[in-house]
Amino acid sequence: MMKDKEILVSIIVPVLNEEKILENTLKNIRKQTFKNYELIVVDNGSTDNSITIAKKYADKVLFEEQKGSIHAMCTGIKNAKGEIIVTCDADSLYPENFLERIVSKFKTNEKLVAIYGPFIFLESGKISNFFTWLGYVISDFLSRIFTKTYIVGAANFAIKKEVYEKVGGYDTESNLASQDFRLARKLSKHGKVKFIPSLIVKTSNRRFKEEGFIKALINAFKLWADVAFNINKITYKSYYSQSYYQKKGAKKR
């Protein structure tokens, strides 16, 4: 059984031109009550000050030329030393006991292979966020019961590295979108993937603002359905298109 002193956690944060928000996120992560962790930032072609900011806070700053946060995530995990991998987003904030709670769950239940939780929005008020949380909890429950699909987001996902490696990790060769959903399914064949409603992360709603709320919900449903019903048609590149990276101001390789 895992013990705190034996556990090293690796936190992976993919970054692409996030200078406006990255420092708050990394400062926030550094306030964790659980201290035995390494913070790995993986740059995916930033042209702003993201790298400079990352070097102030991260234990490792790595570089991934192939565009896509999934490729950056894989690079981070490949270079991680921790027994537990925690994937985080550059635009999210975490409770100070976030890692402590994750480690405690893994320590007390050896059947666990992954943990994830819901999101609420940084820009929203308490009432709005309550309904966001409630919608997430209900949707995830129904999705797991009827389609065995875990509504996992990379900003709030913790994985046993040995099991991640056993299942082959993220499937970058298929080029299919919704890789967190797909990875959770693979992991569930080797142990328990647990949704924890109280393990809440605050993240930005900027994508919802950029796309428009209704359009963003429709796109999210399409991505979920592509996995849940084994349609497997939506590709990573179609979701993260060339125009997406142009808007982000990424380096051309």
Share of the chain above pLDDT 90, in %: 84
Let me know: does 59 contact 29? Beta carbons within 8 Å.
no
pLDDT 10s digits, 79-122: 999 999 999 999 999 999 999 999 999 999 999 999 999 999 99
pLDDT of amino acid 12: 98
Give the helix/strand (H/E) hosting 68.
Answer: none
Give residue 7's identity as a one-letter amino acid code: I
Distances (CA, A) of 104 to 12, 48, 149: 19, 37, 25
With respect to residue 93, please indicate whether it lies within any of the assigned structural domains.
yes
With respect to residue 228, please indicate whether it lies within any of the assigned structural domains.
yes
With respect to residue 253, please indicate whether it lies within any of the assigned structural domains.
no
What gap in Å lies between CA 98 and CA 216, rounded to an integer?
A: 28
Let me know: does 93 contact 202? Beta carbons within 8 Å.
yes
**Residue 207: pLDDT band with limits 50, 70, 90:** confident
With respect to residue 235, please indicate whether it lies within any of the assigned structural domains.
yes
With 90 as the cut, is the pLDDT of residue 127 above it? Answer: yes
- Which domain CATH number covers 49? 3.90.550.10
What gap in Å lies between CA 140 and CA 233, rounded to an integer?
A: 22
With respect to residue 191, please indicate whether it lies within any of the assigned structural domains.
yes
Sequence-distant (6+) residues with CB within 8 A of 30 are 39, 57
First to last CA, the chain: 45
**Scanning the structure block, which residue is given the tokens 């950056």?**
72
pLDDT of amino acid 246: 53
Let me know: does 32 contact 100? Beta carbons within 8 Å.
yes
Average of pLDDT values for 20-39? 97
The domain tally of the chain equals 1
Distances (CA, A) of 110 to 2, 3, 4, 107, 194: 8, 11, 14, 7, 12
Domain range holding 28? 4-248
pLDDT 10s digits, 214-228: 898 899 999 999 999
